[in-house]
Homo-oligomer: A and B are copies of this chain.
């Protein structure tokens, strides 16, 4: 089993985590290492569920905060092991997961190991399978198996957000919009009905889409409606009888999933629309006292989160939650992902100050 040294510098620890390959469904090694490393600290109670590790303080503080990060990554893309780059404008750590999100995980492990008497009780959660279908998601499974472990006054998800606070998140719907036609030999095409030609109007409507950009709690969201896939065709000499356009709708958190679905059904009126996946957005909740206090304590600007994150899971449990983690979210899932070393240090410092009562 690879050893993790939680007393090492946050950059060294990030590298150790990155160099344990942990593509979704292959988190055993990293979860074993995390569990073993945390278990040696007496101020933590450590539990394991699948490849999800939970470490809690229980000091009877008046407030409890969850700080969470996922241990899995998207597939390897010739970007392991990690690589350190010294640069005059700030050093970078390159490699799969540096940004999404082992940099955040390293900060979590540093806080868990290093702060034995936090001013707020903390539940640290390092979980499996965030990058794949939500049925495997460790946080989702934990909320079903041990709902008590999710209880908190506030939650911080250390997803990459440029070491700034990103509040709320947009919801996401996936749908298939389908045209049907009638097959015929392409030499006598006038005897059939071409379903691919029929998709012209679907793509035309998408081109005419005007995104809503609602302002919520002072944050400007930005919706999206995009074809993310298209397929049709039977053979090179057959008029195709079906064409499927796969559409992804990202909707601001002032709309429910049902409202978003109604919107896309209206938008594609006249076509066969099938919903294939759906996740709600999360309102920023910046008016809630715990969120306000955290933001004041870290003294950072707040931005809207466009992508969907597990923040929405906490919101649906009634727990205010924000994203706050090292790394540029634009680099997530990109081959060239990296994390600025300065982000790692800044997140560690600010959260340490907040948990030890230096601020907040």
Residues of chain A at the chain B interface (Cβ within 8 Å): 74-75, 131-133, 170, 172, 174, 183-191, 194, 196-197, 199-200, 203-204, 206-207, 211, 222, 224, 226-240, 243, 245-246, 248, 250, 277, 306-308, 329-330, 332-335
Contact = CB atoms under 8 A, between A and B. Distances in A.
A246 B197 CA distance: 12
Given A75-B234, A133-B236, A234-B75, A250 B187 contact: yes
Count of chain copies = 2
Contact of A246 (B236, B250, B333): B236
28 contacts: A74-B234, A75-B234, A75-B235, A131-B235, A132-B236, A174-B236, A185-B330, A185-B334, A186-B224, A187-B224, A187-B306, A188-B224, A189-B224, A190-B211, A194-B206, A194-B226, A194-B227, A197-B203, A197-B227, A199-B230, A200-B204, A200-B206, A228-B234, A228-B238, A230-B231, A230-B232, A231-B233, A237-B333
B238 A333 contact: yes
Contacts of A334: 183-185
A168 to B, nearest CB: 12
Classify the interface of chain A: helix, strand, loop or mixed. mixed
User: Closest 8 CB pairs between A and B?
Assistant: A229-B233, A187-B307, A200-B203, A196-B227, A189-B224, A187-B306, A185-B333, A186-B248
